């Protein structure tokens, strides 16, 4: 990256660090946790249920039970995903090559630790606990040196884009109980900084790594790996345990049918449209992962 580009990126880091300091809150006193959350209300926007658009003829009571369990699954995915990214960021902070970014990364780690706590707290208080972690792809993709850094931070951007797409909308959904609206809205507020940093940081890291990839072999391998991770990520939204805990028969069959439905493929493309376009625009991807989608910037 040219010197001016680095300067702009450093200015962004300074602005985001200052904003993080100004926006700081104590998560342990921030939320007014109710004694219970009514299970006959929508815990998740019905449009974001994993069976939405698939033609299932279930009554509202069953769909609301599923919304409750898929909220626990979604928050559990946040807990496990945050733990994973924190480990990788902590390995790099204050090491050669990351010293200039460490101030912001301290804010990043602090906020992510707090997010992990309040998502787990909700699951423990109202959902019977955090769902177990699902098998995952290696975080660094097995890439060497700087390419491992690109893989790690690109994965973080993918994860945060998925989460923020849902948080930003459910934080404004009046059908959800207040505690759920608040958790989603607070997370979205913080994640807006992380996404802004993450995309520019991935571009910065990729441009550096690509200097030693004249034939494009590493880039092609990275593209394959990240597309696998994007597919893996959307698949985790279809947890058979959530179906089973909601009292839905044949949970594996329900999962297979939902994942195969064209309406779901269209939703996946929309969910990841912004990051997909970012990867293509910055030549990290030679082609989109799942179609152009609609990059909804709400």
CB-CB contact of 168 with 236 (8 Å): no
Residues 81-91: what's their mean pLDDT? Answer: 96
Residues 174-199: what's their mean pLDDT? Answer: 93
- DSSP label at 59? -
The least confident of 49-53, 136-140, 191-195 is 136-140
Q: Is residue 122 part of a domain?
A: yes
CA 149 – CA 209 distance, rounded (Å): 9
**45 token code pair:** 């926007």
CA 137 – CA 5 distance, rounded (Å): 32
pLDDT at 13: 81
pTM over 0.85? The answer is yes
CA 199 – CA 83 distance, rounded (Å): 20
pLDDT at 251: 98
Q: Is residue 249 part of a domain?
A: yes
Residue 1, pLDDT > 80, answer no
Question: pLDDT exceeding 90 applies to what percent of the chain?
Answer: 78
CA 194 – CA 162 distance, rounded (Å): 13
pLDDT at 3: 43
The count of domains in the chain is 1
Residue 180, pLDDT > 90, answer yes
Residue 171 Cα to chain centre, angstroms: 15
CATH of the domain at 176: 1.10.620
Count how many residues are written for the chain. 298
Name the pLDDT band for 294 (thresholds 50, 70, 90). Answer: very low
Name the pLDDT band for 2 (thresholds 50, 70, 90). Answer: very low
Q: Is residue 90 part of a domain?
A: yes
Residue 140, pLDDT > 80, answer no
Residues 249-270: what's their mean pLDDT? Answer: 96
Q: Is residue 14 part of a domain?
A: no
Q: What three-state secondary structure class fits 150?
A: helix
**39 token code pair:** 């299970």
Region class of 141: left (phi > 0), else alpha (psi between -120 and 50), else beta: left
Q: Is residue 89 part of a domain?
A: yes
Name the pLDDT band for 155 (thresholds 50, 70, 90). Answer: very high
Who has greater pLDDT, 272 or 290?
A: 272
For 116, the domain range is: 43-281
Q: Is residue 48 part of a domain?
A: yes
Residues 264-268: what's their mean pLDDT? Answer: 95
Count Cβ atoms below 10 Å from residue 12 Cβ, excluding itself.
Answer: 15
pLDDT in tens, 23-37: 888 989 999 999 999
Residues 246-270: what's their mean pLDDT? Answer: 96
pLDDT at 254: 97
Q: Is residue 19 part of a domain?
A: no
pLDDT in tens, 99-133: 989 988 999 999 999 999 999 999 999 999 999 99
Residues 158-181: what's their mean pLDDT? Answer: 97
CB-CB contact of 150 with 202 (8 Å): yes
pLDDT at 63: 98
pLDDT at 6: 54
CA 112 – CA 162 distance, rounded (Å): 15
Question: pLDDT exceeding 70 applies to what percent of the chain?
Answer: 95
Closest C-alpha among 297, 259, 255 to residue 278: 297
Sign of the torsion angle spanned by Cα atoms 153, 156, 161, 162: positive
Count Cβ atoms below 10 Å from residue 227 Cβ, excluding itself.
Answer: 18
Q: Is residue 1 part of a domain?
A: no
CA 203 – CA 285 distance, rounded (Å): 12
Backbone φ, ψ for residue 296 (5° rounding)? -75, 115
CA 164 – CA 22 distance, rounded (Å): 21
pLDDT at 265: 94
pLDDT at 25: 84
CB-CB contact of 177 with 31 (8 Å): no
Residues 77-89: what's their mean pLDDT? Answer: 96
Count Cβ atoms below 10 Å from residue 216 Cβ, excluding itself.
Answer: 12
**192 token code pair:** 């807006």
**167 token code pair:** 């948080």
């Amino acid at each position: 990256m040219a010197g001016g580009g680095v300067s702009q990126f450093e200015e962004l880091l300074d602005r985001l660090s200052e904003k993080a300091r100004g926006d700081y809150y104590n998560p342990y006193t921030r939320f007014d946790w109710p004694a219970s959350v009514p299970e006959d209300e929508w815990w998740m926007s019905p449009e974001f249920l994993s069976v939405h658009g698939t033609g299932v003829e279930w009554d509202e009571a069953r769909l609301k039970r599923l919304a409750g369990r898929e909220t626990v699954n979604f928050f559990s995915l946040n807990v496990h995903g945050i733990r994973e990214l924190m480990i990788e960021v902590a390995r790099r902070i204050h090491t050669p090559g990351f010293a200039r970014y460490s101030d912001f990364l301290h804010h990043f780690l602090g906020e992510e630790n707090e997010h992990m706590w309040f998502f787990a707290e909700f699951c423990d208080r109202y959902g019977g606990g955090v769902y177990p972690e699902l098998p995952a792809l290696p975080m660094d993709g097995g890439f060497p040196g700087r390419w491992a850094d690109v893989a790690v931070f690109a994965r973080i951007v993918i994860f945060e884009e998925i989460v923020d797409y849902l948080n930003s909308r459910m934080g404004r959904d009046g059908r959800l109980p207040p505690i759920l609206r608040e958790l989603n809205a607070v997370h979205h507020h913080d994640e807006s900084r992380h996404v802004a940093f993450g995309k520019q940081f991935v571009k910065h890291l990729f441009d550096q790594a690509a200097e030693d990839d004249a034939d494009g072999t590493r880039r092609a391998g990275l593209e394959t790996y990240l597309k696998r991770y994007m597919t893996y990520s959307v698949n985790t939204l279809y947890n058979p345990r959530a179906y089973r805990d909601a009292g839905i028969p044949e949970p594996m069959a329900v999962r297979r049918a939902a994942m195969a439905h064209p309406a779901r493929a269209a939703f996946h493309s929309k969910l990841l449209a912004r990051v997909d376009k970012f990867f293509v625009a910055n030549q990290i991807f030679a082609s989109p992962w799942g179609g152009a989608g609609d990059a909804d910037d709400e």
